[in-house]
Amino acid sequence: MYKFEKVHYKNIINIEKLTIHENLVTSIVGPSGSGKTTFIRLLNKLISPDEGDIIYMGKRLMEWDSVELRRKVVMLPQQPAIYSGTVRDNLLKGLLYSEREPVSDDVLLKMLESVKLNKDLEDDAELLSGGEKQRLALGRVLLMEPEVLLLDEPSSALDDKTELMIIEEVVDYTRRNNKTLVMVTHSNRIAEDFSDQIIRISPDEPVQIREVSR
């Protein structure tokens, strides 16, 4: 699905060759400061490499329209933004921004249930706790039904339960719908437990790829 060829970015990312497979869960691991977040920001073209090519679905990223790509490859960042307004406004934001039809309240309520957010659609989103905001942002992203989901590990400010819940939910979505997930994690344990492929990156060493048999 993704192919890296001699990709360099500001001395942070130096990858000679790498493939990320379709319909699988891939974890990106590495010590802090190893460029994990930078790596996934390359995948939805929030940034572009200084040198080399990244190929998505057979087409070089530089030939993809960035906005079109980001509507297929959606990223849930470490600290997702919550927009002022209600829980409903926030859930619908992704569909609105990617210029798609909004969904009914029934669909939204089901989504709240599946991300285990026990809130009303009318509730003020800015009053939610950190963990609740993260789950709201996850619901927002899942409603967009992305082909590829990019997950930066939830902020360390969150409790482990929320973090695990979010990863479980995302992995479940990926496997059920035959989608692709690329997630950044600091935890080898999480990587081992959930992924099919583990990529260890570091600015100074070649990438290490390991398949996990499931």
Partner 1 sequence: MSNDIMNLQLWQIGAAYVFIALLLVIVRRRGIGREREILIASIRMTLQLVLVGYVLVYIFESTHPLMTILAVGVMEAFAIDNIFKRTKEKLSGKLKKIIAFSMVTGTLTSILYFLFVVIRIYPWFNPQYFIPIAGMIIGNSMTGISLGVKGIAEGMRNQRALVESSLMLGATPARASREIVNSAFDSAILPTINSMVGMGIVSLPGMMTGQILSGTSPLIATKYQIAIMLGIVGSVALSVILFVILGYRTFFNQEDQLIQTDN
Q: Between 20 and 76, whose beta carbon lies closer to partner 1?
A: 76
**Strand, helix or coil at 74?**
strand
d(CA 214, CA 206): 25
Minimum distance, C-beta of residue 38 to partner 1, in the bound complex (Å):
12
Query: Binding of partner 1 at residue 86 (CB under 8 A)?
Result: no
List 11, 48, 188, 208, residue binding partner 1 (CB under 8 A): 48
How far, in Å, CA of 96 to CA of 87, rounded?
14
Work out which of 20, 43, 74, 167 binds partner 1, going by CB under 8 A. Answer: 74
- Looking up tokens 């309520």 gives 109
Among residue numbers 138 through 157, which ones bind partner 1 (CB under 8 A)? Answer: 140-141, 144
The residue with tokens 């990587």 is 191
Site for partner 1 contains 36 (CB under 8 A): no
> For residue 21, what are the CA distances in angstroms to 94, 117, 178, 182, 214?
25, 31, 12, 10, 15
Binding part of the chain for partner 1, among 13-21, 136-144, 171-179, 195-203 by CB under 8 A, reads 136-144
Residue 67 engages partner 1 in binding (rule: CB under 8 A) = yes
Torsion over CA: 53, 184, 29, 9 (sign): positive
Q: Is the dihedral of CA 99, 101, 102, 103 positive or negative?
A: negative
70 or 200, CB closer to partner 1? 70
Residues that bind partner 1 (CB under 8 A): 44-48, 62, 66-67, 70-71, 74-77, 79-81, 83, 93-94, 97-99, 140-141, 144
